[in-house]
Amino acid sequence: MNSVSDLSSGSQSKNHYEVLDGLRGVAALLVVAFHILEPNDHGIRFNQIINHGYLAVDFFFLLSGFVVAYAYDDRWPRMSQWNFYKRRLIRLQPMIVMGSLIGAALFYFQRGSAFPLIATTPSWKLLAVMFFGCTLLPLPTQFDIRGWDEMHPLNGPAWSLFFEYIANILYACWLRKLSTRWLSLLTALSAILLLHMLVTGEGDAIGGWALNGAQLHIGFARLLYPFLAGMLLMRSGKRIHVRHGFYLCSLLLVICFALPRFGSLNHLWMNGLYEAFCIIAVFPIIVAIGAGNLKATVASNRLCRTLGDISYPLYLTHYPLIYLYTAWIGQGVHSLGQRAAWGTLLWFTAVAIGYACLKLYDEPVRAWLSRRFLQSTSPGAAVHIPGTDPAFPVDPARF
């Protein structure tokens, strides 16, 4: 088992949770597939094939809580809050900027009946929205240029990074100081908030991307329990050791995401209970298995590293392609074969773009920013690059 007392300090390196890296990649690939299938359900949630694919966001929040606590809990005696913020900005912000730029570049190609506002959006307004997207500042509905009321209309999934930043600020200012007892109590209360939202609302965790009271309620309910549970899981030292943990956990994620929707329009609470069970119980078990599987094979570790590396760029760049696909579907009747062919091509294109952004942009930019802003004042000290250095094991950005 790994516990807080096991965490390394000083020059010692920490364990690198390769399996958690890999699971982050699996969830990212699944959420891209979910988004591709989504325009084909004609607005009827019961028709989705990967019906619960949006739960990848909640899984990412859980991973984030675990990893942030693991990477930083023991560093505060020698690290300021500003230094923590710099590290998180260097880790997350470059791809946020790239996602907004790609979204702006493809924006006018997405015009059509699915997005009627695009045809009337002047270029100055597009550039203004792109700028705010690069900063991750949420936009009110008055700046909606698509028609979906998104706080980031050029790259919808960026809403989860907005909440990720909120979680990091809460962690640095307050959560890191909580004892395990108080953290447990807060986690339990947040579980009740999440359960209440799921069983009394629309029966699912869909939402969080608009700057209004209802959507912010959903967003915070989705954020708080997973992030706190991840922190608590790390500090408790609870690990589950099984053989072939990565493949088992990947299968569990596929099952959780792909099971059909439960209940009916008159019994939405049934699906809410299922999703609460996944988020509150199953996802922590998956992370406990992933964290307890430190002795995977060389091939498995290589696969996990590759999946982990591509997961964040893939998540932050794929959705402008989804807008294109949605606009194309809205232009007329297309056969199942046509939709499947273009959807498959989109999936592979999204992976290729994500990998290209990783190698040609994200890694070089983060390396430069780390040298520029994280250079130690100690002579000869090494520069730690979040996400690549053992001191920053698995550093997911959430979905």
pLDDT of residue 376: 56
Which residue pairs from 34-41 have beta carbons closer than 8 angstroms and sit at least 24 positions apart in sequence?
34/257, 35/318, 35/319, 35/322, 36/322, 36/325, 36/343, 36/346, 36/347, 37/343, 38/322, 38/326, 39/114, 39/322, 39/325, 39/326, 39/329, 39/330, 40/329, 40/339, 40/343
pLDDT of residue 13: 58
Which residue pairs from 382-389 have beta carbons closer than 8 angstroms and sit at least 24 positions apart in sequence?
386/87, 386/88, 386/90, 386/91, 387/91, 388/363
Length of the chain, in residues: 399
pLDDT of residue 1: 34
pLDDT tens digits along 3-51: 333 333 333 457 789 999 999 999 999 999 999 999 987 777 778 889 9
pLDDT of residue 49: 86
Q: Provide φ and ψ at 242, rounded to 5°.
A: -135, 160
Supply the DSSP string of 1-24, one letter for each residue. ---GGG---TTPPPPP-HHHHHHH
d(CA 371, CA 367): 6
pLDDT of residue 33: 97
Whether 384 is in a domain gets the answer no
- Number of neighbours of residue 142 by Cβ within 10 angstroms: 6
Which residue pairs from 300-306 have beta carbons closer than 8 angstroms and sit at least 24 positions apart in sequence?
300/18, 300/19, 300/22, 300/244, 300/246, 300/247, 301/18, 303/22, 303/246, 304/18, 304/19, 304/21, 304/22, 304/23, 304/25, 304/246, 305/18, 305/21, 305/22, 306/25
Number of domains, the chain? 1
- Number of neighbours of residue 77 by Cβ within 10 angstroms: 6
Whether 178 is in a domain gets the answer yes
Q: In terms of pLDDT, which residue wins out, 357 or 330?
A: 357
Q: Would you call 82 helix, strand, or coil by DSSP?
A: helix
Whether 307 is in a domain gets the answer yes
Whether 169 is in a domain gets the answer yes
- Please check the confidence at residue 385 and state whether its pLDDT lies above 80: no
Whether 249 is in a domain gets the answer yes
pLDDT tens digits along 85-128: 999 999 999 999 999 999 999 999 999 999 999 999 999 999 99
Whether 199 is in a domain gets the answer yes
- Could you tell me which residues are beta bridge partners of residue 115? 112
The overall longest dimension of the chain from CA atoms, in Å, is 67
Average pLDDT (278-297) is: 92
d(CA 351, CA 364): 19
What's at 321, amino acid-wise?
A: L
Which residue pairs from 167-174 have beta carbons closer than 8 angstroms and sit at least 24 positions apart in sequence?
167/61, 167/64, 167/65, 167/68, 167/223, 167/227, 168/68, 168/84, 168/85, 168/88, 169/85, 171/68, 171/69, 171/72, 171/227, 171/231, 172/81, 172/84, 172/85, 173/81
Q: Give the pTM.
A: 0.91
Tokens of residue 204, six digits: 């699912």
* Domain with 282 in it: 4-373
